[in-house]
Chain A
Amino acid sequence: MPRAAPRLLLLLPTVTYRTVAFVEAARRLGVEVTVASERPSTFEQANPTGLVTLDFADPARAAGQARAFAHTHLVHGVVAVDDDTAVVAAAVAEELGLRGNPVAAAAAARDKHQQRQLLAAAGVAVPRFELLTSAADPERVARGASYPCVLKPLRLSASRGVVRADTPDGFMAAFRRLKAILEQPEVARCGDWARRILVEEFVPGPEVAVEGLVTQGALTVLAIFDKPDPLEGPFFEETIYVTPSRLAPTAQQQVAACAQAAVSALGLQEGPIHAEVRYNDRGAWLIELAARPIGGRCSGALRFESRDGGGEVRDASLEEIIIRHALGMPIPTLEREAQASGVMMIPVPGAGVLRGVRGVGEAEQVPLVEEVVITAHPGQTLVPWPEGSRYPGFIFARGETSEAVQGALRAAHARLEFLTEPAD
């Protein structure tokens, strides 16, 4: 009797960019998919096997809901796509005995303060840090702070709310700005963390992003991305990611060792990680590590290649590797393609309502550029950092060298013109 295809429980928040990449990767692999979201799909009653609602705000409750679902539909693996669902996936994995992270480890990775505490205790190089409440007197704290420093919320993604301060006046301005973000209703209702502010030493030096896959606690580095635009502040909107990294091999080894040390310190056991690491003359510094894959559309910059028995090249996406890992399926390769690859998260051109984008065709004609994706829709309000966290689009390029890819991304971006109107 043929064995039924394994069932994947895919945790997809309704506002994620990651839907198509994961759903289509699962289809390519021939696995049965149940999509879990935090709000009911209009088709849930029509397809109760393929759609389920889980309370992403309460991982323990979500695990109970998953248990109820699994009573009638055997689940073989669970995959999360972002920070919040990473904790839910850990809870579901524990509840159902699936491959995953301990809940405590996923929760520690989710909270920047808890993460700092565990990493520092384990001897991982992290910036000096202090936790404040948003009710603190900024003038008093500013007098005692060391400069330059960085103020951060404990959980917001995409560097939203992260501000550098070089002086006491700058600190007070940054504090008030971050506090205002934390007091926005959709943030304030998220929990106690929205009333906390992390202040940490600013670590100079180039920053890289590490994509990795953890198996039984051991990290395999899938790619190290250079971030050629210096992230010096005052805000930390990302732009270009290019791989392979041009850091010296010894520096890359230190970066990888730093990420592995962080994985171990947090107790992560299984699944993807995305880490931000800085490197300077004092070595590698773990800035942040998340128990999830790279965000947005950026995974399109990663492609993995293997050769089958006939010598034909087969490529796999990051999402396919993550799904295979979660389901315990064989993984043909963890080797990234030979070409250099990069993505530009298109910077927000300024505050306003988007009316259109010119020059997309011209940008796509730039040699090495493979795709220009505008994800912002007409009528969408564009919000710059630090209040904002949504890029209006992404540019992808591939080529012989990282330098060439980087140049192509910049050239393509220069051809884009965003037409905006002032917001009401």
Chain B
Amino acid sequence: MSIADLRITAEPIDNGRCKFLVSEPIHAGGVRRFASPDEARGSPLPEAIFAIPGADVSEVIVSGNLVTVVKRNPAPWPVVGKAVGQAIRAALAGGQPAVTAKPVAPESATTDDALYERVADLFDSQVNPMVARHGGRVELIDVQDAVVMVRMAGGCQGCGMADVTLRQGIEAMLQQHVPDVKGIVDITDHTAGSNPYFAAAKK
């Protein structure tokens, strides 16, 4: 597929965060989270997104064919989104990998590893048994800088109440049981859900 055929779909989560679903894989080596331009150095895609003039991007998360961008600028996503799309296209058109492999042993790795274990325990013992009642599943993808990245599957993927499950359910449980967690990011492609538990049914 050529870059011209590449499809990029924006899914704003809120005014600060937006997921960009790309029709081609970007990074196959797990989740990479970049919390500053310095961390992005050497990876063309996040470098280009941090460099978008005026966007004031604070975070870029890349996983598979999803790019999640967090910005501070109050400008609405449709204004910034086209520049993100251009950055994705430019990065994929280049000869080198859009995202470099995860560096070994970052400073926070020990903390994140410990958090990962605690979050994984919580998911196994409480979260997933609960969502399983609706045919759902929540996968813990990674913990980076105390931010938990999850992917929702089964009945949760595309469910009309997925955001309620994420915010009022999973995030609330994390605050209670693993208070060191700073945030949670859903990297699910909800448009691909084929069997949502609650499908939106009204205009």
Contacts A41-B161, A43-B168, A361-B8 given: A398-B13 contact, CB under 8 Å? no
Q: Verify B78–A371 contact, CB threshold 8 A.
A: yes
Chain A residues with CB under 8 A of B202: 13, 15-17, 82, 157-158, 295-296, 389-390
Q: Verify B201–A390 contact, CB threshold 8 A.
A: yes
Q: Verify B195–A379 contact, CB threshold 8 A.
A: yes
Q: Is B192 an interface residue (CB 8 A)?
A: yes
Q: How far is the CA of A149 from the CA of B172 in the complex (A)?
A: 53
Chain B residues with CB under 8 A of A37: 161, 164
Chain A residues with CB under 8 A of B8: 361, 364
Chain A residues with CB under 8 A of B172: 43, 46-47, 50
Contact of A20 among B13, B169, B192 (CB under 8 A): B13
Chain A residues with CB under 8 A of B75: 315
Q: How far is the CA of A371 from the CA of B84 in the complex (A)?
A: 13
Q: Is B36 an interface residue (CB 8 A)?
A: no
Chain A residues with CB under 8 A of B193: 377
Smallest CB separation, A272 vs chain B (Å):
15
A380 nearest CB neighbor, chain B only: B199
Q: Verify B74–A43 contact, CB threshold 8 A.
A: no
Can you list 17 A-B contacts (CB < 8 A)?
A12-B164, A14-B161, A15-B198, A17-B200, A20-B14, A24-B15, A28-B14, A28-B15, A33-B168, A42-B169, A50-B168, A361-B7, A377-B191, A377-B196, A377-B199, A389-B201, A391-B203
Identify the B interface with A (CB < 8 A).
5-16, 23, 74-76, 78, 81, 85, 126, 130-131, 133-134, 158, 160-165, 167-170, 172-173, 191-196, 198-203
Categorize the interface residue count of chain A. Answer: 35 or more
Chain A residues with CB under 8 A of B15: 24, 28, 315, 317
Q: Is A121 an interface residue (CB 8 A)?
A: no
Chain A residues with CB under 8 A of B196: 377
Q: How far is the CA of A380 from the CA of B203 in the complex (A)?
A: 16
Q: How far is the CA of A396 from the CA of B164 in the complex (A)?
A: 25
Chain A residues with CB under 8 A of B167: 23, 27, 33, 50
Interface residues of A in 258-293 (CB under 8 A from B): none
Q: How far is the CA of A345 from the CA of B203 in the complex (A)?
A: 9
B168 nearest CB neighbor, chain A only: A50
Chain A residues with CB under 8 A of B7: 360-361, 364
Q: Verify B74–A315 contact, CB threshold 8 A.
A: yes
Q: Verify B201–A374 contact, CB threshold 8 A.
A: no
Q: Verify A361–B5 contact, CB threshold 8 A.
A: yes
Chain B residues with CB under 8 A of A28: 14-16
Chain B residues with CB under 8 A of A303: 76
Q: Is A253 an interface residue (CB 8 A)?
A: no
Chain B residues with CB under 8 A of A27: 14, 167
Q: Is A35 an interface residue (CB 8 A)?
A: yes
Smallest CB separation, A256 vs chain B (Å):
23
Mark A378-412 against chain B: 1 for CB-CB distance below 8 A, else 0.
11100000000111000010100000000000000
Q: How far is the CA of A15 from the CA of B13 in the complex (A)?
A: 18
Q: Is A313 an interface residue (CB 8 A)?
A: yes
Query: Across chains A and B, which 3 residue pairs bring their CB atoms closest together, nearest first?
Result: A361-B7, A43-B169, A370-B78
Q: How far is the CA of A20 from the CA of B14 in the complex (A)?
A: 8
Q: B5, B165, B192: which has the most chain A beta carbons within 10 Å?
A: B165
Q: How far is the CA of A13 from the CA of B160 in the complex (A)?
A: 9
B166 nearest CB neighbor, chain A only: A23
Given A16-B202, A24-B14, 7 extra CB contacts under 8 A: A17-B203, A20-B13, A24-B163, A35-B164, A238-B203, A371-B10, A375-B200
Interface residues of A in 1-48 (CB under 8 A from B): 12-17, 19-20, 23-25, 27-28, 33, 35, 37, 41-43, 46-47
Chain B residues with CB under 8 A of A314: 74
Q: Is A424 an interface residue (CB 8 A)?
A: no
A314 nearest CB neighbor, chain B only: B74
Q: How far is the CA of A295 from the CA of B10 in the complex (A)?
A: 21
Q: Verify B164–A23 contact, CB threshold 8 A.
A: yes
Chain A residues with CB under 8 A of B23: 361
Contacts A16-B202, A19-B163, A20-B163 given: A47-B173 contact, CB under 8 Å? yes
Smallest CB separation, A279 vs chain B (Å):
22
Q: How far is the CA of A227 from the CA of B25 in the complex (A)?
A: 39
Chain A residues with CB under 8 A of B200: 15-17, 375, 390
Q: Is A103 an interface residue (CB 8 A)?
A: no
Contacts A15-B198, A157-B202, A345-B203 given: A364-B161 contact, CB under 8 Å? no
Q: Verify B194–A377 contact, CB threshold 8 A.
A: yes
Q: Is A119 an interface residue (CB 8 A)?
A: no
Q: How far is the CA of A37 from the CA of B79 in the complex (A)?
A: 34
